[in-house]
């Protein structure tokens, strides 16, 4: 379990390195005494109340809406034979980094964006774009939408994974024979049993949505922005004394995440009680069907927006000029790509290498953990495993500065190995989340049968378990690879800015606002993980979860 410690400890150190300046202690810039001044400065910041409200509202809304849509879609898909295929279709969305979507979505939904261009001026009469806010709307609606585009597919995949361990078909058949419609049946008999497994992903979504930086920078309100963005702004202020309120904001961010998760667990208990009461009431009004249909429609809309976002950026990368109100670029050429190819090659290679190594290291550690767990005499996950998920729940702004000082002290900053390490911290828990279910669900009789034929535990692992689980392992690796490709802050901090990847380049260039350039990076950012995902998805399916026996 040294793996767990190796990743949890630096985070603890990082959090400490953020907490200290939040209370005025950072000798390098003249903070020698403990004081509450950083907090006073934070609270006195004019945007404080709006920013905190905005942070909580967007984070909670994005999480709840994502959860509702994902559950509704799962309920809708459960009784439809092609529902399972639809899940496979939306999974590629998962492979595209957040920032690529955010940049594309900004173009699609802006008042001068693709949607308005498609119907202007012939239908709307808008010779100039309407002066209304969509991107950056003070409510944060665009930010919520972009988060949902990514989080709904993620939750759908997690729900599918958890459902594999429950006899879904039989449960639905029983409930339907008792007079419940399919969607109601799913809500009453499947959801309560998989909730325990999707609770952690939901918490991860909540923590992420509350503290996201890159998407909020691109799509969120800027005046005032969310707390995480404000913390980054202060960290980036020329006046280094701004680090004190920055650290206080990062600490408050952490507190908000902790409180939100506690609240979620509280709401969960109430919801569970109300839900059980409803189940026992025997109501068969088909309400679930309405919710499910609405959820499926919304998901279709999200996927269409996601597709348009990437397509729009792809088109931009080939555009020579594309002005309002043209719905199509006035000129297309490959000249831009040719000119940028040199600059793209090195970040492309770095992204590929860092991602591949980080996934390989994480996979080795995850499989070691899972094997250890199964070979242990006692059943159930070993203690301390929960620490693995800490990186998913602690906001990145809350520990990255502290972690950077740690890296500089060890002299590892700027080295490729530091970037890989930073990526492993975030890749590992995602990989564990997606692999633990299929691994634990593998019918133990395969291993027993192999052992009875004289195979040792290592042989069983290499020749039986791994081949049977090849596809889920490959898909989990593809998703983990996408996580690595999407890392922005950790790459920046650990690499000292000296290890450019597609994502750091894309976010850096996004401040230059030339969509033709950003488009090229966004497309590559999307293509690389997508290729990995498609390769994984093309593997044959050998794995049958334990509980679904085959029936004639």
Partner 1 sequence: MVDRLLRLCTCAVLFAALAAPVRAQSPDRDWSDVLARARGQTVHWNAWAGDEKTNAFIAWVGAEVERRHGVKVVHVKLKDTAEAVQRVVAEKAAGRDGGGSVDLVWINGPNFLAMKEQKLLYGPYAERLPNWRYVDTVRKRSNLIDFTIPHEGYESPWRMAQIVFVHDSKRVRDTPKSVVELAAWARAHPGRFTHPSVRNFLGATFLKQALAELAPDPSVLQRPATDAAFAATTAPLWAWYDGLKPALWRGGTQFPENGPAQRQLMNDGEIDILISFNPSEAAVSASAGLLPDSVRTFVFARGTIGNTSFVAIPYNASAKEGAMVVADFLLEPATQARAQDHRQMGNFTVLDPAKLAPEDRRRFDELPRHPALPSLAELGTTLLEPHPSWMTRITAEWERRYTH
Partner 2 sequence: MSAVPLVLESVRLRLGERVLVDRLDVEVAPGECVTLMGPSGCGKSTLLAYVAGSLDPAFDASGRILIGGEDVTPLPPERRRIGIQFQDDLLFPHLTVGGNLAFALAQRVSGRRERRARVDAALAEADLAGFADRDPSTLSGGQRARVALMRALVSEPRALLLDEPFGRLDAQLRDEVRRFVFDHAGERAIAMLLVTHDEADARAAGGRVLRFRDNGRVEG
Binding site for partner 2 (CB under 8 A): 81, 167, 170-182, 185, 188-189, 192-193, 276, 279-285, 551-552
CB of residue 8 vs partner 1: minimum separation in angstroms?
Answer: 22
Smallest CA-to-CA distance from 293 within 73, 86, 66, 65 is with 73
Q: Which residues contact 196 (CB under 8 A, 6 or more apart)?
A: none
Q: 495 vs 545, which CB is nearer to partner 1?
A: 495
CB of residue 160 vs partner 1: minimum separation in angstroms?
Answer: 37
Q: State the binding partner of 415 from partner 1, partner 2, none, CB within 5 to 8 A by kind.
A: none
Q: State the binding partner of 145 from partner 2, partner 1, none, CB within 5 to 8 A by kind.
A: none
**Cα dihedral 5, 10, 16, 22 in deg (nearest 10):** -140
Q: 111 vs 457, which CB is nearer to partner 1?
A: 111
CB of residue 288 vs partner 1: minimum separation in angstroms?
Answer: 40
Binding site for partner 1 (CB under 8 A): 26-29, 45-47, 50, 110-112, 128-129, 131-133, 136, 138, 217, 221-224, 233, 235-240, 243, 320-321, 323-325, 343, 401, 404-405, 408-409, 411, 413-414, 492, 496-498, 500, 504-505, 507-509, 511-517
CB of residue 367 vs partner 2: minimum separation in angstroms?
Answer: 29
Q: 404 vs 484, which CB is nearer to partner 1?
A: 404
CB of residue 551 vs partner 2: minimum separation in angstroms?
Answer: 5
Q: State the binding partner of 138 from partner 1, partner 2, none, CB within 5 to 8 A by kind.
A: partner 1
Per-residue b or e along 52-88, where b marks 16 or more CB atoms closer than 10 Å to that residue's CB? bebbbebbbbbbbbbbbbbbbbbbbbbbeeebeebbe
Cα end-to-end span (Å), the chain: 44
Q: 46 vs 540, which CB is nearer to partner 1?
A: 46
In this structure, are strands 331-332 and 319-321 parallel, antiparallel, or unpaired? antiparallel
Q: 151 vs 413, which CB is nearer to partner 1?
A: 413
Q: 137 vs 547, which CB is nearer to partner 2?
A: 547
| SS3 sequence of 477-507 | HHHHHHHHHHCCHHHHHHCCCCCCCHHHHHH
CB of residue 170 vs partner 2: minimum separation in angstroms?
Answer: 5
Distance CA 238, CA 407 (A): 22
Smallest CA-to-CA distance from 353 within 417, 400, 429 is with 417
Smallest CA-to-CA distance from 466 within 359, 363, 362 is with 363
Q: State the binding partner of 517 from partner 2, partner 1, none, CB within 5 to 8 A by kind.
A: partner 1
Distance CA 449, CA 438 (A): 19
Q: State the binding partner of 321 from partner 1, partner 2, none, CB within 5 to 8 A by kind.
A: partner 1
Report the 10 Å Cβ neighbour count for 218.
Answer: 22
Are 420 and 361 in contact, with CB atoms under 8 Å apart? yes
CB of residue 192 vs partner 2: minimum separation in angstroms?
Answer: 4
- The upper half-sphere exposure of residue 535, i.e. CA atoms within 13 Å in the direction of its Cβ, equals 12
């Amino acid at each position: 379990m040294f793996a767990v410690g190796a990743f949890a400890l630096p985070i603890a150190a990082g959090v400490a390195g953020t907490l200290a300046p939040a209370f005025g202690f950072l000798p390098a810039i003249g903070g020698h005494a403990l004081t509450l001044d950083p907090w006073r400065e934070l609270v006195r910041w004019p945007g404080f109340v709006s920013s905190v409200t905005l942070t909580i509202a967007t984070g909670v809304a994005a999480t709840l809406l994502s959860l509702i849509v994902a559950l509704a879609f799962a309920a809708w898909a459960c009784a439809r034979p092609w529902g399972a295929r639809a899940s496979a279709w939306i999974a590629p969305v998962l492979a595209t980094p957040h920032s690529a979507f955010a940049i594309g979505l900004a173009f699609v939904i802006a008042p001068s964006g693709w949607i308005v261009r498609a119907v202007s001026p012939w239908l709307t009469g808008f010779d100039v774009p309407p002066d209304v806010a969509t991107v950056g709307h003070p409510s944060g609606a665009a930010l919520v939408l972009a988060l949902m585009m990514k989080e709904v597919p993620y939750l759908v995949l997690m729900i599918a994974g958890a459902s594999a361990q429950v006899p879904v078909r039989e449960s639905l058949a029983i409930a339907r024979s008792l007079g419940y419609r399919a969607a109601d049946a799913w809500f009453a008999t499947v959801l309560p049993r998989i909730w325990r497994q999707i609770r952690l992903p939901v918490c991860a979504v909540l923590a992420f949505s509350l503290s996201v930086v890159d998407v909020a920078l691109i799509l969120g309100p800027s005046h005032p922005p969310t707390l995480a963005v404000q913390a980054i702004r202060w960290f980036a202020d020329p006046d280094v004394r701004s680090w004190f309120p920055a650290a206080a904001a990062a600490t408050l961010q952490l507190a908000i995440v902790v409180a939100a998760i506690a609240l979620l667990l509280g709401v969960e208990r109430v919801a569970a009680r109300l839900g059980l009461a409803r189940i026992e009431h025997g109501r068969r009004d088909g309400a679930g069907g309405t919710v499910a249909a609405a959820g499926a429609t919304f998901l279709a809309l999200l996927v269409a927006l996601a597709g348009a976002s990437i397509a729009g950026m792809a088109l931009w990368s080939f555009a020579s000029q594309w002005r309002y109100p043209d719905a199509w670029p006035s000129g297309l050429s490959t000249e831009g790509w040719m000119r940028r190819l040199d600059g793209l090659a090195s970040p492309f290679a770095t992204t590929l290498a860092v991602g591949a190594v980080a996934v390989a290291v994480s996979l080795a550690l995850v499989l070691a953990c899972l094997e250890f767990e199964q070979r242990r005499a006692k059943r159930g996950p070993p203690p301390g495993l929960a620490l693995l998920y800490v990186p998913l729940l602690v906001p990145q702004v809350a520990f990255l500065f502290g972690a950077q000082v740690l890296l500089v002290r060890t002299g590892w900053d700027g080295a490729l190995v530091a970037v890989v390490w930073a990526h492993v911290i975030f890749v590992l828990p995602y990989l564990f989340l997606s692999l633990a279910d299929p691994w634990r669900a593998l019918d133990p009789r395969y291993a027993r049968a192999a052992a009875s034929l004289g195979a040792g535990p290592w042989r069983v692992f290499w020749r039986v378990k791994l081949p049977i689980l090849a596809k889920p392992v490959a898909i989990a690796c593809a998703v983990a690879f996408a996580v690595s490709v999407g890392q922005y802050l950790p790459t920046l901090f650990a690499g000292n800015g000296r290890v450019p990847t597609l994502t750091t380049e894309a976010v850096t260039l996004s401040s230059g606002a030339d969509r033709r350039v950003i488009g090229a990076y966004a497309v590559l950012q999307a293509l690389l993980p997508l290729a990995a995902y498609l390769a994984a998805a093309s593997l044959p399916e050998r794995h049958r979860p334990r509980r679904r026996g085959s029936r004639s």
